[in-house]
């Protein structure tokens, strides 16, 4: 059994966290792609082809980790033309049926187990699907019982053929490439080729039974990381506190992981489930609450409160509240930064992605900030607003709209 993982795209909908491919975003001390590969290894996949960009940053990152039973090949896609084009570059490795996955799939183990149920019955082509509450955001399957006859991208509300979304995990025959040759090349050519393939081949649905918020198949928008974090916490997080410097009157409750050489000062309270990486510093009288993921070398200064947030490596928070937010690498938040998380009317938060207003389906959602930005003292950020990478936001600003990369607000 072989698998192809696509990790070469721009991840444009993942802005402002797409300073690297989204599969390299870290949760629980490892990139998302690691968790994907671990799931493949667990179900018995022996050989994986990873399609990456010319930067080769995926290869560099994954080589830091060891997989005993996986042989990994790397293939370059020169330009991020399409997912179909990315797969095309892996064709020389695929002389038998193969799995195809996006790089950010976390629950590959569960998905492939469902697909194997179909494969063991003799099915030669299978696609994984999952029920969704927002079919207009995804590719939606048109079905005849369990046979997939078509995938319709982002159908209009009320016109969707089903509630089953395509989660981007496929089991295909090598003959698929002959269909890909025939279609017009462009951003949707993989789906177009699948449509032609489905006309002549029986393609069956493998339905993921868990709800999409409990078993996230892939990332589309930055806030989907919250579901990814929840999934990893439930599946892998264990209480472990070793070689940690803990001062007096520190309270640690529940399932909490703290990495080695982390220092926690007096009066701090940590409530699990929570992950804190290595070489971190938590200042006195800070509060780290449920569903917080803090990566290596992060500094949290005194009297800060972090809850339900994800903070990437080498970032720093100076005495601020960070609630239901995502902070990229090497970013600094000044004192008393005010991140608002709810609308006055209690409605779900809307965010702007690539010029389009998207409902996040979250009633509490703060901000997403990219890499190496500096947010000044007493900056106020409205719910669902994003700040790009390498930005400088001077004190006392109010962020009411998304801020582009490399911006300066005086």
Q: Which helix (H) or strand (E) holds 180?
A: helix 176-182
Residues 355-410 have pLDDT tens digits of: 999 999 899 999 999 999 999 999 999 999 999 999 999 999 999 999 999 999 99
189 and 292 together in one domain: no
> Cα angle vertex 139, ends 137, 142, to 5°?
125
Mean pLDDT rounded to a whole number for the chain: 94
Same domain, 376 and 404: yes
Distance of alpha carbon 151 from alpha carbon 291, whole angstroms: 35
pTM, to two decimals: 0.93
Q: Is 33 a residue whose pLDDT tops 70? A: yes
404 within a domain of the structure (yes/no): yes
What is the pLDDT, as a whole number, of residue 212?
A: 66
What is the band of 216 on the pLDDT scale with cuts at 50, 70, 90? low
Shared-domain flag, residues 240 and 293: yes
Bond preceding residue 273 cis, omega within 30 of 0: yes
Last residue of a domain, one of 192, 220, 248: 220
- Decide if 321 is inside a domain: yes
Tell me which residue of 387, 39, 43, 384 sits closest to 215, measured CA to CA. 39
Q: Are residues 48 and 187 in the same domain?
A: yes
Q: Determine the structural domain holding residue 100 and report its residue range.
A: 2-220
- Nearest CA among 100, 107, 363, 348 for reference residue 210: 107
**Does the pLDDT of residue 215 top 70, yes or no?**
no
Q: How many domains is the chain partitioned into structurally? A: 2
Domain presence at residue 226: no
Same domain, 216 and 284: no
On whether residue 227 sits in a domain, the answer given is no
The reported pLDDT for the residue numbered 181 is 94
Per the domain annotation, does 225 fall within a domain? no
Smallest CA-to-CA distance from 101 within 168, 44, 34, 197 is with 168
Query: Residue 318 and residue 337: Cα distance in Å, rounded?
Result: 8
- How do residues 131-158 score in pLDDT, each as one tens digit? 998 898 889 999 999 999 999 988 998 8
Q: Is the pLDDT of residue 19 over 90?
A: yes
Query: Are 35 and 180 in the same domain?
Result: yes
Query: What share of the chain in percent tops pLDDT 90?
Result: 90
Question: pLDDT tens for residues 260-282?
Answer: 999 999 999 999 999 999 999 99
Contact in structure between 335 and 318 (CB atoms under 8 Å): yes
Domain check: are 240 and 97 in the same one?
no
Q: Please spell the DSSP secondary structure of 309-377, one letter per residue.
A: -EE-TT-EE-S-EEES-EE-TT-EE-TT-EE--S-TT-PPPEEEETTEEEE---SS--EEE-TT-EE-T
Q: Are residues 208 and 286 in the same domain?
A: no
Give 234's contacts (C-beta < 8 A, 6+ positions apart). none
Task: Assess whether pLDDT exceeds 90 at residue 242.
Answer: no
Please report, for the domain that includes residue 314, its CATH number. Answer: 2.160.10.10
Same domain (yes/no): 216, 249? no
The confidence score (pLDDT) of residue 217 equals 60
pLDDT per residue as tens digits for the range 49-97: 999 999 999 999 999 999 999 999 999 999 999 999 999 999 999 999 9
pLDDT at residue 207 above 80?
yes
Is residue 40 located within the same domain as residue 96?
yes
Q: CA-CA distance, 58 to 241, in Å (whole number)?
A: 30
Rounded Cα–Cα distance for residues 21 and 52 (Å) = 9
Instruction: Identify whether 268 is part of a domain.
Output: yes
**What was the pLDDT predicted at 38?**
96
Q: CATH number, domain at 31?
A: 3.90.550.10
* Interval 41-47 mean pLDDT: 96
Same domain, 204 and 263: no
């Amino acid at each position: 059994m072989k698998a192809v993982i696509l990790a070469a795209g721009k991840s444009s909908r993942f802005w402002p966290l797409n300073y690297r491919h989204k599969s390299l975003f870290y949760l629980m001390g490892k990139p998302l792609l690691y968790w994907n590969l671990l799931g493949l290894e667990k179900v018995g996949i022996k050989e994986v082809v990873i399609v990456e960009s010319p930067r080769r940053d995926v290869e560099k990152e994954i080589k830091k980790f060891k997989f005993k039973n996986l042989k990994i090949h790397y293939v370059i896609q020169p330009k991020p033309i399409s997912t179909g084009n990315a797969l095309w570059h892996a064709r020389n490795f695929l002389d038998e049926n193969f799995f195809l996955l996006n790089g950010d799939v976390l629950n590959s183990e569960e998905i492939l187990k469902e697909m194997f149920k179909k494969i063991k019955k003799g099915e030669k082509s299978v696609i994984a699907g999952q029920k969704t509450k927002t079919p207009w955001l995804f590719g939606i399957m048109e079905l005849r019982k369990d046979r997939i006859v078509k995938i319709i991208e982002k159908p209009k509300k009320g016109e969707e053929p089903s509630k089953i979304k395509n989660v981007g995990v496929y089991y295909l025959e090598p003959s698929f490439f002959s269909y890909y040759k025939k279609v017009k090349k462009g951003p949707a050519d993989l789906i177009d080729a699948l449509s032609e393939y489905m006309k002549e081949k029986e393609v069956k649905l493998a339905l993921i039974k868990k709800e999409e918020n409990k078993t996230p198949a892939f990332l589309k928008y930055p806030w989907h990381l919250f579901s990814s974090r929840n999934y990893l916490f439930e599946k892998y997080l264990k209480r472990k506190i070793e070689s940690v410097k803990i001062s007096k009157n520190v309270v640690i409750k529940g399932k909490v992981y703290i990495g080695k050489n982390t220092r926690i000062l007096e009066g701090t309270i940590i409530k699990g489930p929570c992950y804190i990486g290595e070489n971190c510093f938590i200042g006195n009288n800070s509060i780290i609450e449920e569903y917080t993921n803090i990566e290596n070398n992060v500094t949290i200064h005194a009297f800060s409160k972090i809850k339900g947030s994800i903070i990437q490596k080498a970032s720093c928070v100076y005495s601020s509240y960070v609630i239901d937010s995502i902070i990229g690498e090497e970013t600094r938040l000044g004192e008393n930064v005010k991140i608002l998380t709810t609308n006055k009317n209690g409605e779900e938060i809307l965010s702007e992605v690539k010029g389009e207003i998207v409902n996040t389906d979250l009633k509490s959602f703060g901000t997403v900030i990219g890499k190496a930005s500096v947010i000044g003292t007493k900056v106020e950020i409205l719910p669902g607003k994003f700040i790009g990478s390498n930005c400088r936001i001077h004190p006392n600003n109010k962020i009411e709209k998304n801020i582009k990369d490399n911006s300066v607000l005086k």
